[in-house]
Amino acid sequence: MPAIEDHSYLKICAQLASYMSISLAAARRKVELVAAGKGVRSLEDRKTIAEELLEKVRSQSEEGKEASLHLDHLLTALEEDENFMVED
């Protein structure tokens, strides 16, 4: 699939990637998956979906539910696994 080169669409996806602490490609893929699920193909509809996702992430960020904090919590070792080592 050829890359979409619309500046405003890329800017929204870049902001989404920044808020979610993911790459631009992953943010664009997230928008594309939601668009495919809704059966949307036009660029304007994809921009709308990206803006909706961005607003959702911004509101979660303002509530203190940042993605990076959630990831940090998931990566914390359990007490019984703290000294676990894998042999080479």
pTM summary value = 0.67
> How confident is the prediction for the chain on average, in pLDDT?
82
* DSSP notation for 18-70: HHHT--HHHHHHHHHHHHHHHT--SHHHHHHHHHHHHHHHHHHHHTT--HHHH
For the chain, the structural domain boundaries read 7-71
Residue 51 has pLDDT above 70, yes or no: yes
pLDDT tens digits, residue range 1-25? 456 678 999 999 999 998 888 899 9
CA dist., res. 55 & res. 68, Å (int): 17
Q: For residues 22 and 27, what is the distance between their CA atoms, to the nearest angstrom?
A: 7
